[in-house]
Structure 1
Amino acid sequence: MAVRSHMQQITGMTTCGSYEKYLGLPPIVGRSRYNTFKSLKERVWMKVNSWKNNFLSQAGKEILLKAVIQAIPTYSMSVFRLPRRLCKEIPAVMARFWWGHRQNDRRIQWRSWFKMGDSKKRGGLGFRDLESFNKAMLVKQCWRILNNPSSLVAKVMKEKYFKEDRFLEARLGYAPSLIWRSLWYSISLVKESLRWRVGDGS
């Protein structure tokens, strides 16, 4: 405590007693991934309930859902594989808002949210399938590690998880972190999408 107080006086900084979030992400993920990331659903629910549903057109609802609600879990999805249950509950909240539901309302949903995710050419509105989007974000991180082996994250992952192997041949290993488990899950998708291209060697 004395050392901490001395460092505070020198640097003029304050101490933080809570470490629930670091850069917007949980520093420790317990056994229940759902409980760890449940705050994302709560943030979505708070946003949706704060909007005046009666004064919004369908176009206004579409813009709010796409620009605000779908952006809330994006950062977490680029690092962690979110629980499937959560990826279903967040769209359920979005669907209730779209069809004009309040907390205790029960109205008919005239079209499934899965079909609402189709492109507008196919009769949908282009809402994201969160589970597929989560996979795409993780595959993007795998691609970055594959293309930039000199980056800090690639070096750290290599030293810890695939020191003697190439990234695409990496194993899950013993007691891996959730970040590595999420990336390792996406490696198979990267392999499926890779193609050889004949060139001049440059």
Structure 2
Amino acid sequence: MKVVRKYKQASGQCINFKKSLILFGKRINATVRQQIKDTLGIQNEGGMSTYLGIPEDISGSKCKLFAFLKDKLMHRVNGWRGRWLSKGGKEVLIKSILLALPTYVMSSFLLPLAICENLASDIAQFWWSSTSPKRGIHWAKWEKLCLPRQEGGIGFRMIYEFNLAFLAKQLWRLVQYPDSLVARVLKGRYYRSSSPLRTISVSSPSYVWTSISAA
């Protein structure tokens, strides 16, 4: 509440607790939940389901959880179908839009391999198709298209490997900036007397830490 009061003094904005929601973890029992709600003055439980485009509750089947990425990608592709796009135009759309859609999610979470393969399959189908609803013949494997131009490819990204590269960047930031807030939080939970580069088995790790460890 002290933090809330400081925010009010600094910003001049007043929080409406009647319209606010509080989201509890599954391990918080009913007694503690009620104590927290009474202290904060927030009686409504719930959440926004998503925050900045990412689901709030990262639990259960990860394939179902991240299925929205395929829906977003197909929404874009369906809007382009019926247009007479050249291969050059398709290349620009794929590199600048389709392959960029999941990057925000991939910077924090390891996407299941099935999701990455589905995204790659949909992009490949868009690349080889002529006009809707024709599927088109796939004259080369997706892996071949992802090779650099000097090696006979087009330079598309391998989605799963690109995901690991994003997570490796987060891991490297933990090494380079050990005094940052996120580094101190993760250090206190997962590698208190070690280094983030050393794999240590911990009980009930978060999916964020599991994803970073995969790098």
Bin for the TM-score computed over the shorter chain: 0.7 to 0.9
> TM-score scaled by structure 1?
0.81
More helix by share: 1
Shift of 1:149: 0.2
For 1:165, the aligned partner's letter is: S
- Structural mapping, 1:142-157, within 5 Å: 142-157=171-186
Q: Percent identity?
A: 37
The corresponding residue for 2:86 is: 57
Structure 1 distance, partners of 2:77, 2:67, is 16
The corresponding residue for 1:160 is: 189
Structure 2 distance, partners of 1:179, 1:76, is 11
The corresponding residue for 1:177 is: 206
User: 5+ unaligned residues in a row in structure 2: which ranges?
Assistant: 1-12, 22-45
Q: Is the 8 A contact 1:138 1:183 kept in 2?
A: yes
Q: Is the 8 A contact 1:118 1:126 kept in 2?
A: yes
The corresponding residue for 2:153 is: 124
Structure 1 distance, partners of 2:97, 2:20, is 32
Q: Deviations over 1:138-180 (max 9, x none)?
A: 0000000000001111011011111122222351310111000
Among 59, 72, 77, which residue is 2:101 paired with?
Answer: 72
Moved more, 118-127 or 93-102: 93-102
The corresponding residue for 1:193 is: none
The corresponding residue for 1:189 is: none
The SS at the match of 2:153 is coil
The corresponding residue for 2:74 is: 45
Moved more, 162-171 or 28-37: 162-171
**Root mean square deviation, CA, Å:** 2.2
The corresponding residue for 2:167 is: 138
Structure 1 distance, partners of 2:171, 2:183, is 9
Moved beyond 6 Å, runs of 4+: none
Residues 1:77 and 1:63: Cα distance change in structure 2 (over 3 Å): same
Moved more, 52-61 or 33-42: 52-61
For 2:111, the aligned partner's letter is: L
Shift of 1:54: 3.4
> TM-score scaled by structure 2?
0.76
Residues 1:91 and 1:102: Cα distance change in structure 2 (over 3 Å): farther
The SS at the match of 2:50 is coil
Residues 1:24 and 1:54: Cα distance change in structure 2 (over 3 Å): closer
1:30 aligns to 2:59 (yes or no): yes
Residues 1:24 and 1:106: Cα distance change in structure 2 (over 3 Å): closer
Structure 2 distance, partners of 1:29, 1:61, is 33
Shift of 1:101: 5.8
Residues 1:95 and 1:70: Cα distance change in structure 2 (over 3 Å): same
